[in-house]
Structure 1
Amino acid sequence: MRASWKRPSRSNDAPRRRAPWGLGVALLGLAAPALAAPALAAGLVADGAPVPGAVRATDRVRPADGSLRDEGELARDMARLVAQWGARGPIQRTPARLLHRGERRRLPLPAEALGAPAGCVTVAVLGAHDVSFVLQTGTDAVSRRAWPVASRAGLAEVTRCGPRKASLRELTVHMRSPRGILESVVHLSADSPPPARSFLASRQLGPALPPGSIGPRPRLAPVKERAGRLERAAKRAGASRVVHTALTSDGAGRGTLPLRLDPGCHRLDVLAEGDASGGTDVDARLVDLHGDEPLPEDVSESGQASLSVCVGRAERLSLVYTGTPGRSDVMVTVASWPLPESLPEAWGPLARARLAGALGRELLGSLQGGPIQTSLGVQGVTRLPLEVEPGACYAVAVAALRGAGTSFALGVRTDAVHRENHTREDTGGVALSFCAEGATAGNVEVHAGGFGVAWVLGVWQTAPATTSAGHGELDG
């Protein structure tokens, strides 16, 4: 006999169970929000008392089309903002958009407003109170100096007047929260408008606590003591030579040191005595008066400036520093590492220097012999086949031979490994390292951006194959 299952029937005389009144309302709100929302919006009463959280008709926003609907606090704040700023001058409102974490979106601004020599442009971006985002003014050298504007209580705004309006041409919003809906307003005015936070009460955070004090800055150790530490660390890292040069800064705390650097990679440290408060901010840069090769600079806030540079031939450079106490003793320490024979001289001094800078001292020291694979390429995307030995480890580097605004993304993929690395704009090259595990083949992919870019790529073995695969990846 086969068992069967049937839904039990209910007779008309069977008593029906009724849910409590509150549970029924809750289920109504969950199962039929379209029915529950109008009831709350209409301000219905239950048992003679208003429903908690009901939205009155007088609290709703009346859009320009004359309709009556409630769109929440974001719409009400945007309506107040448009009304306040619209009375002062033209406004441009962009539709609301959903952004996800890490997404960047450019904010459209009227070109005629940015090109006018007079007047101001104000951009305000609104979201929910718990949404976090940042306004960034561009990627060029001038815009990068501007501090990004972070949102507070879901509001961020920026105003630029006169010639400074040009910095808003590449204005972008960068989402930090997992997701959020953002809406923006662009306002053109003769002078700076009142801040949006001044009339949007819900966006006002109140007074902020002053930052706590962590005590005075630590005093710097004597210059000779710090120079000795640097020398010992450089020799442990395999430096072939360490040279100390004592200088005296001028009355403004500045100085210059001519340098002759042999082929290789060099680390330069500028050490200064601390001032009366115990803190000193030393900045330094390298200057090449006879070439256009971009050279490093150190503008960090520290009592020591550190620079690293690789050269493929003997170079005469000038080290310029500032920020030391006036008429004080300064020590410049130069530690040098020669270029390994693994970088073929046939590649020329520029390629050898840039590949050495991309690989770094640790990977340079691990190269075993010359490159097992080389290639030349130009800007765009290039995919190259790669043969590897199971269990062996490798280093891959790509460097620019020419071009402007160069940027690289480098990737290696095998059946067992996938590694990627990329650079910022105007950097000479990029490198990564990996172990083949059990793979015998894969591919290398180069993404080269910029103008008139040509590049050279090399692959080196850094560890031989072993009988058992399973090496951990090297840090490039």
Structure 2
Amino acid sequence: MAAARGAVDRGRRAAPGVARVARAAVLSLLTALAGLSAGTPARADLSDDAARVARMWSLSGARVARLPPVFLEHGRTRVVAIDPPSVGEGGEGGARGATADECLTAAFLAARTAEFTLLPEGSPGDLTALEGLVHRLRGAEPEDDRRVLSAAGVAAITRCGAAREELRRVAIDVLSTRGAFDVVVAASSGPLERVEAILPERASGPVAPRGDPGRPSEPGPLDARVARAARRARADGAPRVASTDMRASSIGTGQFSVKLSEGCHRLDLMAEVPSAPLRRATDLDAEAREESTGRLLERDRSDAPDARLDFCLGEPGVVEVPFLGAAGPVKVVLSDAQWPMSAFVPGHFGARARGNLAAALRRRHAPAPRAQAIAEAVGAQGDTLVPVQVEPGRCYFAAAALVRGELRALRLSVELGDRAGRDDAGENGESAGVAFCSEIEESAALRVSARGGSPVWVVAVWPMD
């Protein structure tokens, strides 16, 4: 027993030493981890990048100032007034005064994914004199060779001597969705280090020259293309295909005026290819408009040799189809494939709404409704919630269509339990449609978002077998 107690006492006396060793090991590990953490550079944000540029330019002897941040949306042009940093301004840079051959640099920094252009204004004057500059940025005049395109979210302009007056005002035009900009201005005795050298993570490689794709492919004989278009339409279920033709003008333009029945139509425009060895390429562009109202129904400006127009009419009418791109005074054929409209597409909202509802069904390849709509609603601009009672185990198709007004955007969303679907009207589109099925749900939430010039829309929901 005495020997055992002695062994226990020796173990207790040794325990404090073991604990001290363990604590020292843990402390060493924590210190090493802290050192690794301190040695890892933090991810810099936009303000940090601008501060780094300003600091490096200041160390080279330049007078540097940072302007207030600029926030811009796509399609908005902002003109920024650039004042050269004076002595002591901005708290960065040397203390000497300006000289006649001094250089002025303005650097604009945004997120690396932002795309924008800079355009300096060369004539002095009040800011109200920039209306012409903004007009040029909107594309009304040819491209200005003074425009600077950003790369990796950075664009900078340097002007020396008398040319510094060009940087008194700089216009920013955002090409991407939106962006926040930090602006760094520096006055120096000569050109400064490039921003890409200070921020190597923003440096971009050389831009490859645009390749030559060669001549467009030849579409082939006209009769064979007309036959293919008819076979393709019948394979899609068109019960009737009719065609008409005319001769294009000497410059390859013309216009069809055709009377069409109610329903959905696919117009294929195909031009004859001349046999002459030297000829213009065949690339038809066309659009369809209602003769009575001038409303655009569909437009095709693709690079394909033939043009294709898909639209639906809520009532019979005359449609004008102007075209261009034929290879001279050649034969042009318009092939009209027709699909009838279901009697269950409501017409009490007007012909325009009826045609747009049918277009939503056609675009989503939904079967023709075989029963009356279980729900209908009318709305205007903004976001509108439309609750709909549904039957568990059944499928439905919801369509939103413009009744009158003008649209910039139309979105239809359907929420059913934890599931959701949505559709947006495309460019020049006036309808959207979503198919959905109920499992155990007894109600669905339809959300219609419409933006434009006083739009009025209708939504209809049909049961689908």
TM over 0.5: yes
Residues in 2 aligned to 1:157 and 1:359: alpha-carbon distance in whole angstroms: 51
Other structure's SS at 1:295 match: strand
Show the counterpart of 2:109: 125
**How many angstroms apart in 2 are the aligned matches of 1:367 and 1:327?**
45
Shift of 1:213: 6.2
- 2:378 corresponds to: 376
Unaligned stretches of 5+ residues in structure 2? 1-11, 42-46, 82-105, 119-133, 158-165, 186-190
Q: Is the 8 A contact 1:133 1:150 kept in 2?
A: no
Report if aligned partners of 2:347, 2:353 keep a CA contact under 8 Å in 1.
no
8 A contact 2:404–2:457 mirrored in 1: yes
What count of residue pairs does the alignment treat as equivalent?
385
Q: Alpha carbon RMSD of aligned pairs, Å?
A: 5.0
1:453 aligns with 2:455: yes
AA at the equivalent of 1:125: L
Correspondence 1:222 to 2:221: yes
The Cα of 1:272 is off from its aligned counterpart by: 2.3
1:116-195 map, 5 Å: 124-127=108-111, 131-135=112-116, 152-155=151-154, 168=173, 173-174=177-178, 183-185=181-183
Task: Please give the TM-score of this superposition, normalised by the length of structure 1.
Answer: 0.65
- Say yes or no: does 1:29 pair with 2:40: no
2:390 & 2:345 partners in 1: Cα distance?
20
Pick from 354, 357, 374 the counterpart of residue 356 of structure 2. 354
Q: Does the C-alpha gap of structure 1 residues 225 and 150 become closer, same or farther in structure 2, counting only changes over 3 Å? A: farther
Alignment of 1:385-424 (within 5 A): 385-415=387-417, 417-423=419-425
Contact 2:115 2:175 in 1 (8 A): no
Tell me what 1:433 maps to.
435
1:339 to 338, 341, 350: 341
Structure 1 residues 224 and 270, CA gap change in structure 2 (3 angstroms): same
Cα distance, 1:234 vs structure 2: 0.7
- The answer for unaligned runs of 5 or more in structure 1 is 1-5, 41-70, 98-103, 114-121, 176-181, 188-192, 464-476
- Paired residue type of 1:357: A
Secondary structure, aligned partner of 1:224: helix
What is the CA-CA distance between 1:443 and the residue it aligns to?
2.2
Pairwise CA distance, 1:304: 1.1
1:260-291 deviation per Cα after TM superposition (whole angstroms, max 9, x unaligned) = 11111111111124575895322111244531
8 Å contact 1:406–1:428 — kept in the other structure? no
The structure-2 alpha-carbon separation of the partners of 1:212 and 1:366, relative to structure 1 and needing over 3 Å to count, comes to: same
Give the match's secondary structure for 1:346: coil
Which whole-Å CA distance do the structure 1 matches of 2:414 and 2:265 have between them?
29
Alignment of 1:306 with 2:282, yes or no, is no
User: 1:83 and 1:107 mapped to 2: Cα distance?
Assistant: 37
Q: Secondary structure at the match of 2:36?
A: helix
Deviation at 1:27, TM superposition (A): 3.3
Does 1 or 2 have the higher relative contact order (CA < 8 Å, sep 6+)? 2
Query: What's the counterpart of residue 124 of structure 2?
Result: none
Structure 2 match to 1:94: 69
Q: Deviations over 1:101-156 (max 9, x none)?
A: xxx9569865697xxxxxxxx983345xxx33334999xxx679999x98534435
Q: Which amino acid aligns with 2:386?
A: L
Aligned residue number for residue 252 of structure 1: 251
Q: State, as a whole percentage, how many aligned pairs show the same letter.
A: 27
Query: Could you tell which deviates more after superposition, 444-453 or 357-366?
Result: 357-366
State the shift of 1:328 in Å: 2.2
SS of equivalent to 1:313:
coil
Output one character per residue of 1:349-393: Cα deviation in whole Å (capped at 9) or x when no partner. Answer: 121111112222554533222212112222233222212222211
Residues 207 and 411 of structure 1: CA distance in aligned 2, closer, same or farther (over 3 Å) = closer
Cα pair 1:135 1:173 within 8 Å, conserved? no
Distance verdict in 2 for CA 1:144–1:298, change over 3 Å: farther
